[in-house]
Amino acid sequence: MALHRGRHRPSKRLGQNFLTDPSIAEEIVSCVSPGPSDTVLEPGPGHGTLTRLLQKKAGRLVAIEKDPGLASELREAFREESNVTVLEGDILKIGQSIPAFNKLVSTPPYYISSKLTLFLASRKFDVAAVVFQKEFGERLLAEPGSREYGRLTVMARRKLNIERIRDISRTAFKPRPKVDSTLLKFTPKHGLTEIDEPLFEELVRGIFTQRRRLLKGALTHFLSLKYGRELGRELVSRISIPDARVYQLSIEQLENLSLQTWRVVSDAIASGGLKE
């Protein structure tokens, strides 16, 4: 079966660059070792380069394609395959109606990279293989203190183990993108520190807006905006703060900071100094 059927013109608006290298396609699929007991989710299947390989190995395959023309093409191409379901829609908007899956494989448009990563961090699954822009992959793999280390690194790596499998040349795609890509393998982390998740997310977002500032100043600014200047400074005085800049903090240090913040805020509520 031909992988590229019809006269579909790639959409710049949808960030469409289709993988055409069969050996790389095989390598991407092999990263998750799909088998008869697996349900694989494939966001952005395009013309079905990975879909065909996955269909032969996975017990069930759910492909979600935003482009109506491509979704129609895929339904026609896989109409005889009982283990393939093609859904037309945006994976970032379908939400909880996405069928349960335990593996994910994708070469998504670059513009959804951040949201797709956070989607993975919020779901239960076994393993995922995703191709991202090389520079984006470096952000996910960045270490504390590096230029690329930021809020996205923290939010992703707190819940996900991320491994670089290989870089992929731009020549493996058509139309050819302006940058090279990288194949990353994701597995969930277990035994996470129990924290107030919304507070952690809000705290990390707040202090990383001033990522090069000393933590004490950034935290004071964040809590002052949230609770008022006077109370914000008082709360900070009760927290043990590392003498470091925001972008130098490890995920473990940020978790500890979140726990301390939760405790001092809870104490302030209990004493009547702060309303819930």
Ramachandran angles phi, psi of 230, nearest 5°: -65, -50
**Same-domain pairing of 32 and 163:** yes
Identify the bridge partners of residue 128 per DSSP, sorted by sequence position: 104, 186
Q: Same domain for 155 and 253?
A: no
Per-residue model confidence (pLDDT) at position 137: 98
State how far the Cα of 151 lies from the Cα of 12, in Å rounded to an integer. 28
My answer on whether 158 and 211 are in the same domain is: no
Angle between helices 215-227 and 229-237 (to 10 degrees): 140
Q: Tell me, what CATH number does 104's domain have?
A: 3.40.50.150
159 in the same domain as 25:
yes
Q: In terms of domains, do 89 and 206 share one? A: no
Residues 242 and 175 in one domain: no
| CA angle, 122 then 127 then 129, to 5° | 100
**Whether residue 129 sits in one domain with residue 59:** yes
Q: Is residue 12 included in any domain, yes or no?
A: no
Structural domain tally of the chain? 2
| Structural domain harbouring 238 | 197-270
Helix residue ranges, H only, 191-250: 197-207, 215-227, 229-237
Per-residue pLDDT reduced to its tens digit, 109-168: 888 999 999 999 999 999 999 999 999 999 999 999 999 999 999 999 999 999 999 999
Dihedral pair phi/psi, residue 200, rounded to 5°: -60, -45
Instruction: Kindly report, residue by residue over 13-44, the tens digit of the pLDDT.
Output: 444 688 999 999 999 999 999 999 999 999 99
Domain assignment present for residue 47? The answer is: yes
Average pLDDT, the chain: 92
Is 126 domain-assigned? yes
Q: pLDDT (tens digit, 9 = 90+) per residue, 214-253?
A: 999 999 999 999 999 999 999 999 999 999 999 999 999 9
The interaxial angle of helices 251-270 and 215-227, nearest 10 deg, is 40
Among 125, 159, 188, the domain-final residue is 188
Sheet with 103-106, edge to edge strand ranges: 84-88, 60-65, 39-43, 103-106, 127-133, 181-188, 160-168
Same-domain status, 146 and 77: yes
Looking at residue 210, its pLDDT comes to: 96
* Percent of the chain scoring above 70 in pLDDT: 93
Stretch (H or E) spanning 63: strand 60-65
276 in a domain, yes or no? no
- Domain finish residue from 188, 220, 239: 188
Say yes or no: 69 and 132 in one domain.
Answer: yes
pLDDT digits over 175-217, tens only?
888 899 999 999 999 999 999 999 999 999 999 999 999 999 9
Characterize the bridge pairing of strands 160-168 and 39-43.
unpaired
166 and 88 in a common domain: yes
Domain ends where: 131, 161, 188?
188
